[in-house]
Amino acid sequence: MKKHTGEIEQNESATKYLKDHLNGYGKIPEKAWRAEQDAPTAERYGLCDGYYKLKDDVKNLETLRHGAENIISEELPERTRTRIKDLGL
């Protein structure tokens, strides 16, 4: 018995800790804990997907803007281009 006294004390200590911290549950509420952990993970993945979609949209819009600026600069006479730059367009 003296040989296993340390293990017995650790077991009793762990049992007391779990009893005090399980909030009345008979066993560890693993499903609830997993659901609580999975919710932020799913939200993070959703936000990442949204970020990458927005990033692609911005890239496409920048390409369109650049193309539009090139078309405008080719078609407008120099005097009009200067006026557009002064207006900040």
Nearest to 32 by CA among 23, 43, 44: 23
Is the pLDDT at 76 greater than 70? The verdict is no
Band (74; pLDDT cuts 50, 70, 90): confident
Helix residue ranges, H only, the chain: 5-21, 30-75, 78-87
Residue 66, exposed/middle/buried by CB under 10 A (0-12, 13-18, 19+)? exposed
Segment among 24-28, 40-44, 79-83 with least mean pLDDT: 79-83
Q: Which position has the higher pLDDT, 88 or 51?
A: 51
Q: 0.85 exceeded by the pTM?
A: no
Is the pLDDT at 59 greater than 60? The verdict is yes
Helix (H, G, I), strand (E, B) or coil at 5: helix
**d(Cα 34, Cα 25) in Å, to the nearest integer?**
16
Cβ-Cβ contacts under 8 Å for 85 (sequence gap 6 or more): none
